Amino acid sequence: MDALDTRLLTTMRAHPRIGLTELARLLGVARGTVQARVEKLTARGIIADFGPTVDAARAGYPILAFVSLQIAQGRLTEAVEALRGVPEILEVHGTSGQHDLLCRVVARSTDHLQDVIAAILASPAVQRTDTTIALSTQIPYRIEPLLDAAVRTG
């Protein structure tokens, strides 16, 4: 990635509905250059999607929690398959340390969160959970500072 790629990605994130022609105008490059760069970044997997970002809280799920799981030895695949069936689980990451998996979970209420945790524990592959409820978001998901740093050091 170079400085133009970074400017392109930053501008696309700031204006998610922008067209290629307008993007080219804002960046001061040809439309064909923008299209080629977007295609290259997409092919390399740097641009992962073009879908809208959905705010779960505004969609009726204001509780955000992080649930750490301990999995029974040798049953990771079984656990992950069971977790796929719980729609309130937004992400699952394998982790090092005391826990095996970290889940980002949303719920309509604390009672609903308790039901979600019960659904997670319904799998015999899950031995234990540890839940932390997020009270606020101090720094929302961001990528622009990382892109800027990569260009400066790259």
Tens digits of residue pLDDT in 117-152: 999 999 999 999 999 999 999 999 999 999 989 888
CATH code for position 72: 3.30.70.920
Identify whether residues 8 and 69 lie together within a single domain: no
Question: Within a domain: residue 47?
Answer: yes
Residue 79 and residue 104 in one domain: yes
The helix or strand, by DSSP H or E, that contains position 128, with its residue range, turns out to be strand 126-134
The structure's pTM equals 0.87
Determine, yes or no, domain membership for 151. no
Helix (H) and strand (E) counts for the chain? Answer: 6, 4
Contact 6, 150 (CB under 8 A): yes
Same domain? For 83 and 122 the reply is: yes
Say if 84 falls within a structural domain: yes
Q: What secondary structure letter does DSSP report for 52?
A: P
Q: Do 79 and 31 fall into the same domain?
A: no
Q: Is the pLDDT of residue 46 over 70?
A: yes
Q: Which residues contact 8 (CB under 8 A, 6 or more apart)?
A: 23, 27, 34, 37, 38, 41
Angle 99-92-81 from CA coordinates, rounded to 5°: 100
* Contacts by residues 145-151 (CB-CB < 8 Å, ≥ 24 positions apart): 147/1, 147/6, 147/9, 147/10, 148/6, 148/10, 150/1, 150/6, 151/1, 151/2, 151/3, 151/6
- What does the DSSP 8-state code read for residue 117? H
Asked whether residue 88 is domain-assigned, the answer is yes
Asked if residues 1 and 154 have their Cβ atoms less than 8 Å apart, the reply is yes
Number of domains into which the chain is organized: 2
The whole-angstrom distance between residue 137's C-alpha and the CA centroid of its chain comes to 14
Instruction: Report the candidate in 124, 133, 10, 3 with the shortest Cα–Cα distance to residue 68.
Output: 133
For CA atoms 146, 152, 153, 154, the dihedral sign is positive
- Looking at the fold, whether 21 and 75 belong to one and the same domain comes out as no
The boundaries of the domain holding residue 84 are: 63-134
- Which tens digits make up the pLDDT trace of 2-36? 999 999 999 999 999 999 999 999 999 999 999 99
In a domain, 150, yes or no: no
Q: What is the mean pLDDT of the chain?
A: 95
Q: Give the domain CATH number at 47.
A: 1.10.10.10
106 inside domain: yes
Please tell me whether residues 85 and 114 are part of one structural domain: yes
- Do 48 and 67 share a domain, yes or no? no
What pLDDT, on a 0 to 100 scale, did the predictor assign at position 132? 98
3 state DSSP class of 108: coil
